[in-house]
C-alpha cells in the first residue's frame, strides 16, 4: 500500500511524539521522586554554598577564563597570520602547533604546566599565569583556525582598495582586514569562550588553595562534605549562568552578521 | 613636472601560461582623459591594474608621475598615493562610515591630522554630492552613491591621475548618469584619467583619446571621433557594432 509522502511524514511525527511521551512516563514512574528532591534540591546545602559560590568560585572561573581567552586570542591571531604568511617555515610552525594542541587533551597541557614545565625551565607559575598560559595555549589552536577563516572571508577587493590608497600590506591587514574579519568571526569566537569556560575546570590539577577554587573544584569540595548531591546541581546551574547568555549572544551576533553578509559588496 | 603623466613601454603580463598583455605601449599626457574599450577578456583591467602595480608586470616599463614603478627599488606605497583607483565593485571599507572611508588613508598613510583629513574628506564628498551621507555606513548607500563615495575617497589623497575600471558596470541604469556626471566634472577640472568603460557616449564626449584593445594588444588608438566614429580596423568595427547595437549587427544601423 502506498502512502502519500505527506501522510508518511505525519505518521512518523506521531511516532516520535509517542516515543517521547513513553520515555517521560517511564522516568516519572521509576524515579524515586522524594529521594531525588531530597538529594538534589537540599536548600540547606544551597545556603551553605553561598556566598563563596559567587565571591570565590564563580569569580575565579570567570577570571581564569578571561585570562586564558585573552592570551589565546592574541596567540591565535599570531598563528592565523603565520598560517597565511608567504614564508613557508611560519606556515609549518603554525600548522604543527595547531594540529598538536587540537590533538591532545587539555588536561594533559595542564599537567605539563604542573610537572613538566617547572622541571624543564626551573620556573614556577602562579595560578593566574598557569590558567592564562594553559587555557590560552589550548584555546589559541582552535581560535587560530577560526581567525584564519575570518581573514580569508574578507573580500579581496577590500585589500586592493587599501593598497591602491598607498597602505602597506601590514597596514591594510591591521586597519582594514582584521577589523572586518573579527566582525565575521564574533559568533564562533563566543563559542570558543564557552568552551574555555568549561575547560577552566581543569585548573584543579595544578593544586589550588581555597581562595583559588573555581566552580568545579568548589563543588567537589562541597560534595565530599555534604550528605546530598545538591552541589552538582548548583554548580551545573552556575556554569549555565555564564554559558547560556554567551550562547544567546553568539546566536544574536550570528543573526546580525548573517543579515549583513548578504549586503557585503 | 613633465607633460607626460603615464608612460608605458613594452608592457607584458601573463597569468601562468596565459599571456594577457603582449606588448603594450601607451602614453597619457597630463590633463588628458583616455578611454580604454575592448571585448571581455582583452586585458583592459589587467592593463589598468598594472598602472598602479596591483598586478606585477612580467616585462616592460611603467613610469607614472616621473616615478618608474617597474624599478625594483621603488617605494610603491608612496607612488600609489598619487594614483587614485576606482573599482567596478566600489570596494568601500564596509566597517567604516563614509567619511572614515575618506579619512583613513589620509591619516594612516599621508599622516594628516584628524581635523585636516575630515575637512578634505567633507570637501570631496561635497564635490560628488554626498555631503549629507558622511556618517552613513556604505551598506546604507545605493550603488551609485557608493561609487561616488569611492571616487571621493580616491580624490581625498590628491592624486595626479585617476584610474577607473568599469566604474558604472555594476550599477542600475538610472544610477549610471550620476557617476558619469562626477567623472565628467573631474575631466573638466583637468584631472588626468584612464577609464576602462563600455559607455561609448561618455567616451565620445569626454575622451581626448580612445584605445581599442583586443587579444592583449592595442589594436587601434586615436581621438574618440575617429576610433568610435570611423574605426579603421575590422575588429574595432565588429566590437562597436556589438556594443552600440546588441540586438542587430547589420550595417543598416550606422554608428
Ligand atoms: N588574477 C588572475 N589570474 C589568472 N587569470 C587572470 C587573472 N586576472 C585576469 N585573468 C585573465 O586574464 C584575461 C584578461 O582579464 P582582464 O580582467 O584584464 O580582462 P578585461 O578586458 O578587463 O575583461 P572584462 O571586460 O570582462 O572586465 C582573462 O582571460 C582573465 O581570465
Ligand atoms: Mg575588466
C-alpha cell recorded at residue A74:
592574541
Helices A230-263 & A59-83 angle (0-180, nearest 10): 40
Grid cell of A137 as nine digits:
595555549
Whole-angstrom distance, CA of residue A134 vs CA of residue A110: 6
> Mean pLDDT in chain B?
92
Cβ–Cβ < 8 Å for B47, B62: no
- pLDDT on residue A122: 76
Q: What integer is the mean pLDDT of A234-248?
A: 89
Q: What is the pLDDT of residue A136?
A: 94
- Are the Cβ atoms of B54 and A160 closer than 8 angstroms? yes
Domain membership flag for residue A265:
no
Residue A18 CA, chain-centre distance (Å), reads: 35
CA torsion, ordered B160, B164, B165, B170, to nearest 10 deg: 150
pLDDT (0 to 100) of residue A126: 84
Q: Is residue A111 part of a domain?
A: yes
Q: What does the pLDDT average to over B110-119?
A: 96
The mean pLDDT of A79-83, rounded to a whole number, is: 96
pLDDT given at position B252: 46
Q: Cα angle at B94 between B88 and B96, to 5 degrees?
A: 125
Range with the lowest mean pLDDT among A33-37, A207-211, B115-119, B154-158?
A33-37
How high is the pLDDT of residue B248?
Answer: 63
pLDDT over 80 at A73, yes or no:
yes
φ/ψ bin of B31: left (φ > 0), alpha (ψ from -120 to 50), beta (otherwise): left
- pLDDT class for A260, splitting at 50, 70, 90? very low
- Note the pLDDT of residue B249: 56
What was the pLDDT predicted at A264?
A: 29
Half-sphere exposure of A254 (CA within 13 A, CB side): 11
Please check whether residue A262 lies inside any domain of the structure.
no
Is position A13 within any domain?
no
Q: Nearest chain A Cα to B77, which residue?
A: A166
**Cβ–Cβ gap A157/B154 under 8 Å:** no
Q: What is the mean pLDDT of residues A155-181?
A: 95
Q: pLDDT tens digits, residue range A141-157? A: 999 999 999 999 999 99
The predicted pLDDT at position A265 comes to: 28
Please give the pLDDT value at position A257: 65
Check pLDDT > 70 for residue B169. yes
- CA dihedral over A7, A13, A19, A21, signed as positive or negative: negative
Which is more confident, B228 or A224?
Answer: B228
Taking 90 as the threshold, does the pLDDT of residue B246 lie above it? no
The confidence band for B255, taking pLDDT boundaries of 50, 70 and 90, is: very low
pTM assigned to the model: 0.84
Question: Tell me, what's the ipTM?
Answer: 0.92
The helix (run of H) or strand (run of E) holding residue B28 is strand B18-29
CATH number for the domain that contains residue A245: 1.10.3720.10
Least confident among A21-35, A52-66, A99-113: A21-35
- B14 by Cβ neighbours in 10 Å (0-12 / 13-18 / 19+) ranks as middle
Mean pLDDT of B185-208: 94
A123, pLDDT greater than 90: no
pLDDT, tens only, A246-259: 888 888 887 876 54
Query: What is residue A131's predicted lDDT score, i.e. its pLDDT?
Result: 87
Query: Between A93 and B255, whose confidence is greater?
Result: A93
Q: What share of chain B is helix, strand, coil (3-state, %, to 5)?
A: 35, 25, 40
Would residue A224 count as lying in a domain?
Answer: yes
Q: Is A6 inside a domain boundary?
A: no
> What is the pLDDT, as a whole number, of residue A56?
84
Distance B41 CA to ligand 1 centre (A): 5
Comparing B107 with A43, the larger pLDDT belongs to B107
Contact A165 B52 (CB under 8 A): no
DSSP A207: -
**In-domain check, residue A135:** yes
CB contact under 8 A, B105 and A160: no
Is any ligand 1 atom within 6 A of the Cβ of residue B42? yes
Q: What DSSP letter does each residue of B103-159 carry, written as one string? A: HHHHHHTS---HHHHHHHHHHHHHHTT-GGGTTS-GGGS-HHHHHHHHHHHHHTT--
The mean of the pLDDT values for chain A is: 86
Q: Is B127 in the pocket of ligand 1 (CB under 6 A)?
A: no
How many structural domains is chain A composed of? Answer: 1
Cell of B196: 576602462
Rounded average pLDDT over A205-224: 83
Convert the pLDDT of each residue in B72-104 to its tens digit. 999 999 999 999 999 999 999 999 999 999 999
Q: What is the span of the domain harbouring residue A151?
A: 41-256
Does the beta carbon of B46 sit less than 6 angstroms from any atom of ligand 1?
yes
**pLDDT classification of A17: cutoffs 50, 70, 90:** very high
* pLDDT category of residue A218 using cuts at 50, 70 and 90: confident
d(CA A15, CA A36): 30
Indicate which of A86, A158, A165 best probes the interface with B, i.e. most B CBs within 10 Å of its own CB: A165
Kindly state whether residue A3 falls inside one of the protein's structural domains: no
Residue A89 exposure: Cα atoms within 13 Å on the Cβ side: 0
Amino acid at each position: 500500500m502506498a502512502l502519500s509522502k505527506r501522510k508518511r511524514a505525519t505518521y512518523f511525527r506521531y511516532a516520535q511524539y509517542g516515543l517521547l511521551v513513553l520515555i517521560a512516563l517511564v522516568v516519572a514512574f521509576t524515579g524515586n521522586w522524594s529521594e531525588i528532591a531530597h538529594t538534589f534540591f537540599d536548600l540547606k546545602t544551597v545556603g551553605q554554598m553561598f556566598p563563596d559560590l559567587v565571591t570565590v568560585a564563580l569569580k575565579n572561573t570567570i577570571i581564569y577564563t578571561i585570562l586564558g581567552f585573552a592570551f589565546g586570542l592574541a596567540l591565535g591571531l599570531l598563528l592565523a597570520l603565520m598560517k597565511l604568511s608567504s614564508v613557508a617555515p611560519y606556515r609549518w610552525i603554525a600548522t604543527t602547533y595547531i594540529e598538536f594542541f587540537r590533538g591532545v587533551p587539555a588536561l594533559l597541557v595542564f599537567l605539563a604546566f604542573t610537572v613538566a614545565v617547572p622541571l624543564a625551565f626551573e620556573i614556577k607559575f602562579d595560578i593566574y599565569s598557569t590558567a592564562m598560559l594553559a587555557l590560552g595555549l589550548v584555546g589559541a589552536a582552535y581560535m587560530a583556525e577560526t581567525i584564519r577563516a575570518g581573514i580569508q572571508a574578507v573580500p579581496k577587493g577590500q585589500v586592493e582598495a587599501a593598497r591602491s590608497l598607498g597602505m602597506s600590506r601590514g597596514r591594510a591587514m591591521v586597519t582594514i582586514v582584521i577589523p572586518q574579519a573579527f566582525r565575521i568571526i564574533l559568533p564562533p569566537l563566543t563559542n570558543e569562550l564557552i568552551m574555555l569556560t568549561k575547560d577552566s575546570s581543569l585548573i584543579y590539577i595544578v593544586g589550588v588553595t581555597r581562595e583559588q577554587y573555581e566552580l568545579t573544584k568548589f563543588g567537589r569540595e562541597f560534595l565530599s562534605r555534604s550528605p546530598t548531591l545538591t552541589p552538582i546541581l548548583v554548580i551545573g546551574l552556575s556554569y549555565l549562568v555564564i554559558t547560556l547568555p554567551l550562547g544567546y549572544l553568539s546566536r544574536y551576533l550570528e543573526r546580525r552578521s548573517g543579515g549583513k553578509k548578504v549586503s557585503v559588496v | 613636472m613633465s607633460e607626460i603623466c603615464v608612460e608605458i613601454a613594452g608592457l607584458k603580463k601573463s597569468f601562468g601560461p596565459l599571456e594577457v598583455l603582449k606588448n603594450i605601449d601607451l602614453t597619457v599626457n597630463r590633463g588628458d582623459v583616455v578611454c580604454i574599450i575592448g571585448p571581455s577578456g582583452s586585458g583592459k583591467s589587467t592593463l589598468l591594474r598594472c598602472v598602479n602595480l596591483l598586478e606585477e608586470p612580467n616585462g616592460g616599463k611603467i613610469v607614472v608621475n616621473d616615478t618608474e614603478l617597474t624599478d625594483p627599488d621603488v617605494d610603491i606605497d608612496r607612488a600609489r598615493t598619487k594614483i587614485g583607483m576606482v573599482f567596478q565593485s566600489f570596494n568601500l571599507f564596509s566597517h567604516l562610515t563614509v567619511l572614515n572611508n575618506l579619512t583613513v588613508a589620509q591619516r594612516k598613510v599621508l599622516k594628516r591630522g584628524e581635523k585636516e583629513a575630515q575637512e578634505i574628506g567633507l570637501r570631496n564628498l561635497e564635490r560628488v554630492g554626498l555631503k549629507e551621507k558622511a556618517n552613513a555606513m556604505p551598506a546604507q548607500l545605493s550603488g551609485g552613491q557608493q561609487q561616488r563615495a569611492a571616487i571621493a575617497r580616491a580624490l581625498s589623497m590628491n592624486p595626479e591621475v585617476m584610474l577607473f575600471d568599469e566604474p558604472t558596470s555594476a550599477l542600475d541604469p538610472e544610477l549610471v548618469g550620476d557617476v558619469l556626471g562626477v567623472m565628467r566634472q573631474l575631466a573638466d577640472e583637468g584631472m588626468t584619467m584612464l577609464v576602462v568603460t563600455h559607455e561609448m557616449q561618455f567616451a565620445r564626449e569626454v575622451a581626448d583619446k580612445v584605445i581599442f584593445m583586443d587579444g592583449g594588444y592595442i589594436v587601434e588608438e586615436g581621438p574618440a571621433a575617429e576610433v568610435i566614429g570611423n574605426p579603421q580596423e575590422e575588429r574595432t568595427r565588429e566590437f562597436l557594432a556589438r556594443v552600440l547595437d546588441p540586438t542587430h549587427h547589420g550595417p543598416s544601423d550606422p554608428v
